[in-house]
Each structure stands twice: as structure tokens, then as C-alpha cells.
Structure 1
Amino acid sequence: MTLDLLLVLALLTCCVALFVRNKPRMDVVAVLAMVALPLLGILTVPEALAGFSDPSVVLIAALFIIGDGLVRTGIAYRMGDWLVRTAGSSETRLLVLLMLAVATLGSVMSSTGVVAIFIPIVMGIAARLRINPGRLMMPLAFAGLISGMLTLVATPPNLVVHSELRRAGLGGFDFFAFTPIGLAILALGIGYMLFARRWLRSDDGQSAGDRSRHTLADLARDYRLSERERRLRVLPESPLAGRLLNELELRSQYGINVIAVERHGRFRNQLMMATGSTNLQAGDILLVDLASPAIALLGAYDELGLAPLQLKSSYYADHAHELGLAEVALPPESTLPGKTIQELGFRSRHQLNVVGLRRNREALEGVLVDDKLRPGDTLLVAGSWKNIDRLHGLSRDFLVLSLPMEVNEVVPAGDRAPHALFSLTVMILLMVSGLVPNALAALLACLLMGAFRCIDMDSAYKSIHWPSLVLIVGMLPFALALQKTGGIALAVDGLLALLGDAGPQVLLACLFTVTALTGLFISNTATAVLMAPVALSLAQQLGVSPYPFAMTVALAASAAFMTPISSPVNTLVLGPGRYRFGDFVKIGVPFTLLVMLVTVLLVPLVFPL
């Protein structure tokens, strides 16, 4: 063992210790290591900085942007909405669909982002079904981790191993190279969680509804909107067809306040916020708020050519990504008290509708245009989230009190969803066909999303998780340093001396174990950076194909099921699921052993030794 190797191992040990301590941040530690290697004379400056030009780093950055485009266009949230509708009241069906949905979405975007999206969705479902969220949060996290085993671009460790193969002069993995094994592990994970959920908390989920922040459902209940919400279709013979809303005076004459209009489009129904210039068409579905539920009994629908439609749930909940609610209070210095709702002109001035009024903490039966406001009144306004956001600081006459939780799920480019899917499809087809390198395919998809206005430049830069990229760039030189100083050869010789006579499958199991245990202390990306060269050298020494060994490292790097700190995905669900450290050990360790068994059995079949 040379002095240079001792220095590299000492530096690596210090990095691992700081990673575990998490002070300073992991990306800072990686930069310190990147600076230390040239100062110690182990690598040249170009070698230490080579990670900045690595195609995998560019690809990972582009995938962050593409994932954010899927969120901004509502594709991710629509999958969550579909889950809510399809699962119904069955916990078993919910668990299966949840894991399938998360794994599918996570195969083309950040698993951490997918889990973050689904946490509030799962919390809401748990509250509705009166089950403890702990019975669903761990399956959610496990599905997020398994999603990294489904495609080449699903997680950075896959790309790191792919890049190491290319750097060794070998062909990398195809886009769907991981899929056969990943699907088997996903099926195993679903079956395992259906059995293991009995070990999770099973008390009722009443506490799941305890939130410090209102939801749309809370606001609708507080202002008694559910009694007045209706969906009305404009019939072909309706006198409303072809006319502007401000010409019809529906609110003043009939007590019908049109909030939004659903209109059938080429790809999907479009939701348009109602303004005075909205031109109604035959077939439109009006989302309305009635001044009184008795309006339907007065013959107004027949006179206006409107047909009532079934309303299974609040349309605010159905369109939460586009249609919002906000409470607006009148401060003491406001000049609005004494004016009527009509005189406020919220629709003409702010493109928002007043749909609720609370006085002395009691919601009024309905909001009439001639109601005069009093000091201390609180208004509930409805409209697009964009227009609601504009209310902040717009006037001294009113104050936005609070926004519901759903404001975090705003879809600013919801009408661009088909374009985002097209861009994603182009990227996948290019990667599968191999016509261009993967990094170029991802960059082309980013350009398409930008051209289609699925994402803007500011959002694109914000979507990139720079600490992850810096961590990868800073850890990549360690692989070269270990190779130059003989560290990789030493590790391979040690494994061969210990298990050389046991056969390749035993070595695969040993490689999986070492990789998974290393991933308990440092990030899965850094683990892949360190273990990929060991795997390739081990295969070379044995004279067998390197692909089973590289695949084993990639799968083991994603098998971070054993502790709540072994992956950001696990950390995200720790609080909402109210888990203890031991919960992950109890559920995660047996599952990791099962994943290792599947890996050792299937990898040699898919990638012959």
C-alpha cells in the first residue's frame, strides 16, 4: 500500500464521516475533496475538474428540468387525481395503484420529486378513508426507490454506472436495460408491502386531517359552498349560447354566479375562468355558485336553457390545480365597508368572483350582489391561482388572509400537458434508438419543453438540484484517484482472495451487500461512483462479462430501504408517516435481502456471465 493510496483512503474516510455527520453539507465536502486531490499531488487539476464535462452530469441536470416540466404541466398531479378516483375506498387497491403510479412516474423523473408530490395526496386519502398515513407512506417511499430500478434515466446511480462502462470503452446500458429486473422487484415490493403493512401503524387516520393550514375543502365547508355549487350544461337551444357573460346579468337577475366554464377541447376539457368577456357556447359546462339552493325550483334553468349535471364532489377539489379560493379580509383602514358586492367589481378589476361572506365568524347563506359590507367582514374569492396571487399588496382596502394548501400544487402550464408528453416521448425514442447520445436527447427534450412554453428559463434553472450535481462532480475524481493509486486493484484482490472460489453469483451477492451497506452512510450517487470501478475490475479479473456486475451495483445503490436517512425519499415520509428509526429497519432489512436474492438470480439471466 503506497503513501498516495493511504492519502486517498484517509481523504475518503474523512468524506464519509462528514457525510454521516452532515456538517458541512455534502456538496461542500465534495468540493473540498475535489480541491484536496490536486493539492496532494494525486490528480492533476484537469483530472479533478473532469466531472464538469461528464455527459452524465449534463444528462442529470436536463432530467431535473424535464421532471419539473411534467409537474408544471400537471401530468404528475393528474396521475395523483386518477389514483384518488380509481382507488375508491379499498386500502389494498389504493396501495397497489399508489406504488404502480409512483414507480411509473419516478422512472422518468426524480423519485424525490415524485414522492414529494404524492405526500399531500396520500395524506388526504388517508384522512378520507380514516386510516393511519403510516400504512401508506412507507409503500410510497419504497415505490420511489424501486422506480430507480426501472429505466436508465430514473436515478443518477444508473447513469454513473452507465458512464463508467463507456469510460472503460464498453457499450453502456440501453434505456430499458433495467426494466425486466426492475419490474420483478416492483412486483415483489407490492406483494411484500401488502403483507408487511400489518407491521405498520393501524390506528385510524383521524389525526391525518389535523392541519395547521386550511384546504379547499375546509374553506368550502366554512363558507357553506357545497350547498350552492352546481354544474350546468348550456343546451343547444339556450338563449345564452353565443353571448357574453356581462350582457346576461345572470347574477343580478337570477342569482347565478358563473365561476368557471368547462369547454371540450381537442385533447381534453379546458377550464376557463369566467370574466365579463367570456363568450358562452352550446355544450359548455358552467360551474356556478347559487345565491340560494331554491333557484332551481323557480324555473330559471328551463328559462335559460340549462341542464343540471351530477356533482359528485366539489368542483374546487376537482380543479384544484387551476381553480383556487382565498380569504380576503377588510382591514380597519379599508374604504370598502358600506359598498355592495356589485360595487366592489372584483370580477372586472381582478378577474375573481366573490363566492362567500363571513360576518361575525358566521357564513351567510348566500352572497347577494346588493349585500353591503361591514367592518370585519371576510370575503371568499374564487378564480385562477395566478389572479389570486396578484391580490397580495394590490390594495390597502383588503388583505389576503390565507391561501389553502393546494396553492402548492398550482399548475402554471396545464394546457401544455400534451406538448410535455410529446417532448418526453421524443427523448425516450431517441434514447431507445441510440440515434444520438443520451445527453443530447435530454437537452433536445428541454429545448422542446421551452419552445412549447411548458417551462421557462427561470423555472428551468430553479428546478436543477445543484447540490446533487456538485456532489457527483466532486466524487467522480475519487474513482480515478483510487484507480491510479491501486486502491481498486487492492479491493478486487481482497474480494477474490476471500470469495474467489465461491463462483460469480456469490461475488454478485457480496458486491450487492457492500454497495447497499456503503449506501447507508453516503448518498447512493457517491456509492455508485465508488463501487462501479470495483465492479468492472472484479469482472475483468474473473474474465466474465462486466454487465452483470455493473447492473448489480446500480440496483444495490437504489436499494436504500433499511434506514430513514439512507435516502432523501425515506426522510421525506418519516414525519408524515410518524415513523421511528426502527420501523425502517424492521421493514427495510428483510426487503433488502429479498431484493438481493432477486438481483443475484435474475441479473445473470438477463445479462449472461
Structure 2
Amino acid sequence: MTIELAWVLFLLATAVGLFVTGRPRMDVVALLVMLILPLSGVLSVQEALAGFADPNVILIAALFVIGEGLVRTGVAYRIGEWLARQAASSETRLLVLLMLSVAGLGSVMSSTGVVAIFIPVLLSVAARMHISPRRLMMPLAFAGLISGMLTLVATAPNVVVHSELVREGARGFGFFSFTPFGLVILLLGIGYMLLARRWLAPGADDADFRLPRRTFRDLIRDYRLAGRERRLRIRPDSLLIGFTLPEVQLRTQHGANVIAVERIAKLRRKILSPSSDVQLQAGDVLLVDLVDPEVDHPQFYRERGLEPLHLEGEYFTDQAHDVGMAEVILPPESALLGKSVLDLEFRSRYGLNVVGLRRNREALDCGLLEEKLKLGDTLLVIGTWKAIRQLQARGRDFIVLSLPAEVDEAAPAASQAPHALLALCVMVALMVSGLVPNVLAALIGCLLMGLFRCIDMDSAYRAIHWQSLLLIVGMLPFALALQKTGGIALAVDALVAALGGAGPYAVLASLFLLTAVTGLFISNTATAVLIAPVAIATARAMDAAPEPFAMIVALAASAAFMTPISSPVNTLVLGPGRYRFGDFVKIGVPFTILVMIVSVLLVPLLLPL
């Protein structure tokens, strides 16, 4: 062992030790690694910083943006609705459906991309079902990794191993040669995660799940809004047609507060803010808050050409994608103190309606519009999410308190959902067909998202999880350092010498273990490149078929369950799942051993030695 190799191994052990303790942060450790390796002369500056140009890093960043585009257009939330609807209130059913869906998608496209897309979906579902993300994010990552064991094109190591077999004169693998092994391991993974999830309960710092965020229903109860909501369609013979809301004076004269206007335009449903320039049309549906319940009478509706419609959700909860709520409090220096709700002209100024007022924690049931506001009063405003977000930027006369949980479900670009799906389909088709590299396919998807206005630049930059990217970039130089100093070659030579006359099962187990452990420190593709020739040569020396040995290497290359840095898939869920390094060790190491045992027993049965 050379001095340089000993130094690299010491740095590697130190970095892993710091990852385990969690101090300093993992991305800080990664930056320190990039600094120390060139300063110590092991790598050049260009080699140490090469990770910033690695296509996989760009791919991951692009997939974060794709995922955010699906969230902003409501596509991700609709997938989450489907998962939640199919799962009902069963966390078990949700976990099973999740792992099956992710593994199926990952078998034909980048598992990293699938996981990146599902992260915001699961966060939304977890919030609605009151489940900690800790219990879902690791099953998501494991399913993404297992997807690499299902088809030939599911992951790069499969293709590497296949190419090495063909180069050595063997037949190689077919598209579905991996499927029997992957399906068995997927079922094993589902069963294992159903048991292991008890070890992923919310931690002491997981306060969001001890104290759930307030929801629409909480606000409806606190402000006594239930029963005041109405949906009224404007009939073709209505006298309101052609007039604006200020002109018809439904609020000032009759206490019927129009929250929003539903309108079908170009075969699409739009939610319009009740601003003074909106002219009412036949077929428009008014979302109305009845401040004065006495107007709720058939004669009132008949005289104005209005037709009451059925309401599915309590006080417009079924409209939460488009219509939002927020609590507003008046600070001591507010110029609005002493004025009534009508004096505030909230709808004219901000496109929002005041529908509730609490004083001393008690909601006022009557006189809301004329009541003079006092210090400490809390107002409940309702309107489009866009108007609420704009209100947050204006804090001199009032302060917007924390928004309800439904804000996560809002889709600011809901009308662009078909275009977001088109961009996603183009990206997937390019990845599956192989016409362009995956990173270019993801960048094309990002550009299409921007072109169709599914996402803007500010949202795109905020969507990227920079901590995860820095961690990946900082660990990539270790792979090159181990190769340059002879660390990988030394390990491979030691394995070949130690095998000796051991039987084929022992050799398969040793190859699996070597591949899995090596994959902790370098990419699984590089691991497959290094170990596949050794596996095939060992099979030749033992006068055995090379396919089982190559298959073991491919399966082990995808079995990166043991640490959060052994695969980008694990790194992606590290933050959203609020995991520590030890969480992956505790859950991943036993599962890797189970996968190794199943693989060593199953491979010789389906691929005779």
C-alpha cells in the first residue's frame, strides 16, 4: 500500500465518520473533500472539480425542475390524489402502490428522475394523510433502486455488464433477462419495508407531525363559516349579465359576498378574482359567502336570474386548488385600525374578500362588514392563491399569518397541466429510445416546461436541492482518487487471491459483497466497469457459465441501500425524509444482506452455472 493510497483511505474514513455524526453538514464535508484532495497533491484542481461538469449532476438538477413543473401545474398533486384515493386511509396500501408504481416507471426510465418526480407527490400525500415523510421516503428510494433490477435498460450497470459479456464472446442478456430477479426482490422489498417502517417513526425534531398545520376545515370552524357558502349560476335571462360586481351591489345591498367567479373559456374552467373589471356572463358560476343569511331565499335568486348549484365540499374546500384562505392580523402601526371591512376596500385593492373576523379568539357572527377593527383583530380573507401570495409582500398595514396546509396543493399554473405532461412524455420518450443522452433529454424537458410557462426561472432555481447536488459533486473525486492510487485494483486482486478453490456460491456471494461495498464509494456504473471483467474471468477459470457471475454483479450494483451517499436516489430523499446517516445504515444493511442471499440462491436456479 502506497502512502498516497493510505492518505486517501484515511480521508474516506474521516468523511464517512463525519457523515455519521452529522457535524458539520454533509455538503460542507463534501466541499472540504474537494479542497483537501488537490491541496494534498492526490488530484489536480481540474480533477477535484470535475463533478460540477458530471452529466449526472446536471441530470439531477434538471429533474428537480421537472418535478417542480409537475407540482406547479397540478399534475403531481393529481397523481398524489390517485395514490391517496386508492390507498384510502391505509398507509400499508399506499406503501405497496407507491413501491409498485415507482419500480414500474423506473424500469423504463431514470430511477433518479422517477424519485425526483415522486418526492413532492409524497410530501403532499403525507400531509393530507398525517403520515411522516420518514415512513415513505426510504421506501420510495428503495423502490427506485430495485427498478434497476427489472430490465436491461433500467440502469447503466446492466448495459455495462451486458456489453462485457458480448465482448467476451458470450450471448449477453435480453431486455427482460433481469425481470424475474427484480420482481422477487421487489416483493421482498415491499414486505421488508412494511416491517421496517416502524423504525422510521417521526423523530423528536419532527414537529410538523406533532402539531399539524391548520387546514381549511380548521379555519371554517374557527370563523364559523359553515353553511354560508353558495354556488349560483347566472341563467341566460339574468339581469346581471353585462354588469360588473360593483354595479350589481350584491355585497353592499344584500350581504352576498362574491368570493370568485367560475367561467368556462375555450373548453377550460377558470377561476376569476372578483375584480371591478370582470363583466358577468351567462353561465358564470358565482362562489358566494352569505354574510346575511336572510337573502338565502328562492325569490331573491329568481329575481336576479340565479340558479343555486350543489356544493360538494364544506365552504369551498373542493375548490382548494384555486381558491385559498389566509389569516391577516393588524399590527399596532396599521392605518386600517378603526375602519370597517367595507372601508378597507379589500376586494378592490387586493382582489380578496374578508369573510371572517375574530376578536379575543371569538368569531363575530353578525355585523362583519360594518364592524370597526381593533388592535389584535384577526381577519380571514379568501380569494385566488395568486392574490394571497401577492398580499404576503405587502406587510405595512397588516401581516399575513401562516397559510393553511392546502397552499401546498395549489397549482399556480394549473391551466398548463397538458403541456407539462407533454414535456414529461417527450423527456421519457427520449430517455427510453436512447436518441439522446439522459441529461439532454432532461434539459429538453426543462426547456419545454419553461416554453409552455409551466415554471418560471425563479421557481426553477428554488426547486433545485443544492445541498444534495454539492454532496454528490464532493464525493465524486473519491472515485478517481481510489483509481489513481491503486485502491480499487488492490481490492480486486485480493478478492481473486482469496477465492482460491471456493465453490461457486461462495464466489457469487463474494462478488456481490465486493460490488455492493465498492459501490458505497464510487458510482455503480464505475463499479460494474471494474468488477464485471473480474467476475467473467473468474467464471472462465472455474469452467462455469459467465452469465450468472455477470448477473450477480449487475444486481449488486443496484443494491445501493446502505448509505445516503451510495446512490443519488438515496441522497435525493435524505432532506425531504429528514434522515440521518445512521437511518440508512440501520435499514439498508439488513436489506442488502437479504438481497444478497436471495440473489445468490436464485441466480444459479434461473441461469445454470
Q: Could you tell me the TM-score, scaled by structure 1's length? A: 0.78
Residue deviations 1:546-580 (CA, integer Å, cap 9, x gap): 9635532442114669x9xx8673675569xxx99
Residue 68 of structure 1 corresponds to 68
Which runs of 5 or more residues in structure 1 are unaligned? Answer: 127-132
2:351 alignment partner AA = Q
From 543, 558, 562, give the equivalent of 1:555: 558
Residue 125 of structure 2 corresponds to 121
Q: Take 1:603 and 1:59, find their aligned partners in 2: how far apart are those partners?
A: 33
Residue 454 of structure 1 corresponds to 454
Residue 440 of structure 2 corresponds to 440
Distance 1:315 1:453, change over 3 A: farther
Q: Take 2:577 and 2:431, find their aligned partners in 1: how far apart are those partners?
A: 32
Report if the CA contact (8 A) 2:563-2:581 is conserved.
Answer: no
Residue deviations 1:23-76 (CA, integer Å, cap 9, x gap): 344334334434444454444444444333332232222222222222232322
Distance 1:97 1:168, change over 3 A: closer
Distance 1:104 1:244, change over 3 A: farther
1:556 alignment partner AA = A
Residue deviations 1:351-383 (CA, integer Å, cap 9, x gap): 111111223432122565444445543211112
Residue 387 of structure 2 corresponds to 387
1:57-136 equivalent positions in 2, closer than 5 A: 57-90=57-90, 92-99=92-99, 107=111, 109=113, 111=115, 114-115=118-119, 118-119=122-123, 121-126=125-130, 133=131
Residue 411 of structure 1 corresponds to 411
Q: CA RMSD in A?
A: 4.6
Distance 1:580 1:177, change over 3 A: same
What SS does the aligned partner of 2:296 have?
helix
From 120, 140, 143, give the equivalent of 1:143: 140
Distance 1:446 1:111, change over 3 A: same
Deviates more, 1:18-27 or 1:221-230: 18-27
1:142 alignment partner AA = P
Distance 1:443 1:402, change over 3 A: closer
Deviation of 1:348 (Å):
0.8
Q: Could you tell me the TM-score, scaled by structure 2's length? A: 0.78
Deviation of 1:223 (Å):
0.6
**% same residue:** 54
Which runs of 5 or more residues in structure 2 are unaligned? Answer: 168-172, 541-545
1:111 alignment partner AA = V
1:219 aligns with 2:219: yes
1:482 aligns with 2:486: no
What SS does the aligned partner of 1:557 have?
coil
Distance 1:47 1:572, change over 3 A: closer
Residue 272 of structure 1 corresponds to 272
Deviation of 1:264 (Å):
4.2
Residue 534 of structure 2 corresponds to 538
Deviates more, 1:300-309 or 1:436-445: 300-309
Deviation of 1:426 (Å):
0.9
Report if the CA contact (8 A) 1:336-1:397 is conserved.
Answer: yes
Distance 1:584 1:50, change over 3 A: closer
Residue 5 of structure 1 corresponds to 5
1:279-318 equivalent positions in 2, closer than 5 A: 279-314=279-314, 316-318=316-318
What SS does the aligned partner of 1:226 have?
coil
Distance 1:199 1:105, change over 3 A: same
What SS does the aligned partner of 2:412 have?
coil
What SS does the aligned partner of 2:493 have?
helix
Deviates more, 1:17-26 or 1:540-549: 540-549
2:341 alignment partner AA = I
Q: How many residues align?
A: 583
Deviation of 1:434 (Å):
1.6
Distance 1:549 1:290, change over 3 A: same
Residue deviations 1:414-462 (CA, integer Å, cap 9, x gap): 3222222211111111121122222221111111112222222233333
Q: Take 1:468 and 1:581, find their aligned partners in 2: how far apart are those partners?
A: 17
Q: Take 2:67 and 2:521, find their aligned partners in 1: how far apart are those partners?
A: 18
What SS does the aligned partner of 1:227 have?
coil
Deviation of 1:349 (Å):
0.6
2:413 alignment partner AA = A
Report if the CA contact (8 A) 2:321-2:410 is conserved.
Answer: yes
Q: Take 1:303 and 1:175, find their aligned partners in 2: how far apart are those partners?
A: 69
Q: Take 2:239 and 2:182, find their aligned partners in 1: how far apart are those partners?
A: 58
Q: Take 1:64 and 1:175, find their aligned partners in 2: how far apart are those partners?
A: 29
